[in-house]
Amino acid sequence: MEPTVFIIVGAFVLLFIMIALFGKGLTPEDIGNIGEARTARYLRKLPTDDYTIFHDLMVADSNGRTTQIDHIVVSRYGLFVIETKCFKGWIFGDEKSRVWTQSLSVGGRWFYDTEKHTFQNPIRQNWRHIYVLAEQLNLSKRLFQNVVVFAGDAEIKTEIPDYVMSEYDVAGYIRSFEAVLLGDAQVARIVSKLQRYAQPKEEEQRVQHVQMLQETHAPVSEGGQAPQCPRCGSPMRKRHRRSDNAPFYGCSRYPSCKGVVNIES
């Protein structure tokens, strides 16, 4: 086979892989996993002698409510808690707002329109992770750094803090911290404690975590106002199950997102 044919075949194979990874049909969980894998790839640039990296930890607070943390980097320079978002389009938000907005251009060859979705402010979301970790590790919050990473093609259109960045900048940002905050023995103890959270999680744990998120983000409203989706932050719509006609809130982005909030009778 001629070299040119090999190149053409290779190009088609690469195109197929890209469609499989980033095309339609991916669930929000799939997209989240892709984003976390991309961030993890850049975190591997950190020297292993100075930094210990953990991925996908589920930690419970003193009340038993779990929080899922994408990445933690432990070092003498502190603990870097990283929340990864995998989005495209334009992102609008600020440090204190409850939700941020994703704006997408949609349409065909002859027209374009804008589709907007809201999602939980990742800065506030990550502070929750830090509070739980500080409590469980018995550490001061001053030892933690809040880091938010956007993996993918998203473009942030509003002013944001310098700890919100692209995947390409995360390793350099972490390495910019040079003040020593922890001794080697303290770092070793923290790593030992975090290792127990790094064990493979049972499916039951994940289900309980999702249920907790649904309860947390479902508003208490006498008027029956629909909540935002706990998985992607989009508005939800009231629906009824076919089996027993019981009401529930389903994500307006279904079937792309299958977020559900039950309605208590």
Q: Provide the token pair at 175.
A: 């390495």
What DSSP letter does each residue of 133-145 carry, written as one string?
Answer: HHHHHT--GGGEE
Q: Which of 165, 182, 201 is the last residue of a domain?
A: 201
pTM: 0.68
- Which range, of 79-93, 103-117, 121-135, averages the lowest pLDDT? 103-117
Q: Are 181 and 166 in contact (CB under 8 A)?
A: no
Instruction: Quick: pLDDT tens for 6-53.
Output: 555 555 555 455 545 444 556 777 787 888 999 999 999 999 999 999
Cis peptide leading into residue 255 (ω within 30°): yes
3-state secondary structure of 237: strand
Q: Are residues 69 and 195 in the same domain?
A: yes
Q: Which of 176, 201, 226 is the last residue of a domain?
A: 201
- Cα–Cα distance, 51 to 207 (Å, whole number): 31
Beta pairing, strands 113-120 & 99-106: antiparallel
Q: How far apart are the first and last CA of the chain?
A: 68
Q: Are residues 116 and 72 in the same domain?
A: yes
118 sits in which H/E element:
strand 113-120
Q: Are residues 196 and 215 in the same domain?
A: no
Q: Provide the token pair at 161.
A: 């803090």
Does any domain span residue 155? yes
- Cα–Cα distance, 87 to 103 (Å, whole number): 10
Q: Are residues 159 and 248 in the same domain?
A: no
Q: Are residues 227 and 162 in the same domain?
A: no
3-state secondary structure of 11: helix
Range of the domain at 214: 208-262
- Cα–Cα distance, 96 to 125 (Å, whole number): 11
Q: Are residues 110 and 225 in the same domain?
A: no
Does any domain span residue 8? no
Instruction: Quick: pLDDT tens for 207-223.
Output: 444 444 444 444 433 34
Cα angle, residue 65 at apex, residues 64 and 67 outer, rounded to 5°: 130
- Helix, strand and coil in the chain, % to nearest 5: 35, 30, 35
| pLDDT category of residue 200 using cuts at 50, 70 and 90 | low
Q: Are residues 213 and 192 in the same domain?
A: no
The domain total for the chain is 2
Positions of E strands within the chain: 51-60, 66-75, 78-87, 90-92, 99-106, 113-120, 144-152, 155-156, 164-166, 236-240, 247-251, 260-262
Instruction: Quick: pLDDT tens for 112-160.
Output: 667 888 889 999 999 999 999 999 999 999 999 999 999 988 899 999 9
Top-confidence residue, 78 or 28: 78
- Cα–Cα distance, 146 to 142 (Å, whole number): 10
